[in-house]
Amino acid sequence: MRTLKHLLLIAALTPIAAALPTGQAGAQDRFGTRTGSISFHSSTPVEDIEAHNRKVSCVYDAGTGAIELAVLIKAFEFRKALMQEHFNENYMESNTHPKATFKGTLTGMDAAAKRSAGTYAVTIKGDLTMHGVTRPLEEPATLVVRPDGSLKGTARFTVRPEDHDITIPGVVRNNIAERIVVSVDLDLTSL
Amino acid sequence: MTQAMKTRTLIIAAAVIAVLAGAYAWTEYDRGLADAGAMAVAERVTAAELLAAFRADETAATARFVGTTEQAMEVTGPVRAIEPQGAGPVNVLLDTGDDMAAVLCEFAPGTVPDQWAPGTSVTVAGICTGMLMDVVLVRCVPVE
């Protein structure tokens, strides 16, 4: 059953996995999830805003370090419906830009560490595409190699809405932080 | 009616309108997310039909099933798997007849009926958010 599940996941991940370099890593080097978590938090004296999305798709090739993530913008959930409506309609324009993606590499681990249980400080570097605008991103992250071989990746960084051509109207400029804190949490299992 | 009475009436009316407007504004500001099970159903399809629509034309399927404003839909299909996501939501994967993708339905903890199991044919109401590896529905509820 476990083998069948993994075969199904490999097949399901094919569109993303196809973009990864091939011929350099065995199947045991590939990890993935379709239920990763990402959240963002904006804190100002006026109000705090946060949203969560627990349907992040990710494929990571430990052999090459290549990593890809994709999220559906409309899968972000807010506590207040009005915030969610404004987020989708006024800021992210999710009908025009329904997805955000990250394509890059994860570096900072040698080959031996990739197979040894432990917690490793790594660097994630690549291109973040959001609201139709692609910007380079390089941030520290943490990768935990569990004894059973599965991985847990976490990262916390900030994004400026203006860097992705997201316009904040002056009337609510004080309600939204200049830098939005983004947290990513991925439980990656072997493919 | 004297001028003083007219003025007092106008002030009271303005105050009442201001209070009502404030109450409406606060209610709207504080409004929570709608219950998918209580929303009008925009589409009813099988899991296989939903995946096929996204595979055939993702843009058209997004316009139809995701919509420009939030809408609820119902999807019917056999359960492929039920996977709790830590202490958070429970993911119910509906079989599409295609091993490469499922309809991934996110339920709040404790809301998946106990009798649901792999192979059970079920109907789910939820909010379609698009397709990544699977077609994704959030805030799902079972449809009896």
pLDDT tens digits for range A2-58 = 344 444 444 444 444 444 333 344 556 899 999 999 999 999 999 999 999 999 999
Cβ-defined contact of A72 to B88 (cutoff 8 Å): no
Angstroms from A80 CA to nearest CA on chain B:
5
CA distance A120 to A117: 9
Distance in angstroms between the alpha carbons of the first and the last residue of chain A = 14
CA distances from B131 to A139, B66, B137 (A): 28, 10, 9
Q: How far is CA A119 from CA A62, A112, A114, A144, B51, in A?
A: 15, 13, 10, 4, 39
How far does A95 lie from chain B, in Å, by closest CA? 6
Phi, psi (degrees; rounded to nearest 5) at B21: -65, -40
Instruction: Give the largest Cα separation in chain B, rounded.
Output: 81
Q: Is A95 on the interface with B (CB under 8 A)?
A: yes
At A88 the pLDDT is: 95
Residue B67 confidence (pLDDT): 94
Tell me whether 0.95 is exceeded by the ipTM: no
Model pTM above 0.90: no
Asked if the model's pLDDT at residue A97 lies above 60, the reply is yes
Query: For position A7, what pLDDT does the model report?
Result: 42
Rounded-to-integer distance, Cα B66 and Cα A138, Å: 33
At A25, is the secondary structure helix, strand, or coil? coil
With contact defined as beta carbons under 8 Å apart, do A101 and A143 qualify?
no
| A99 inside 8 A of chain B by CB | yes
Strand, helix or coil for residue B122: strand
Q: Which of B38, B53, B32 is nearest to B135 (CA)?
A: B53
Whether A165 and A133 have beta carbons less than 8 Å apart is answered as: yes
Taking the Cβ of residue A103 and every Cβ of chain B, the question of whether any pair is shorter than 8 Å is answered with no
Read off the pLDDT band of B2 (50, 70, 90).
Answer: confident
* pLDDT higher than threshold 70 for residue A139: yes
The answer for residues whose C-beta is within 8 angstroms of residue A113's C-beta and 6 or more apart is A120, A145
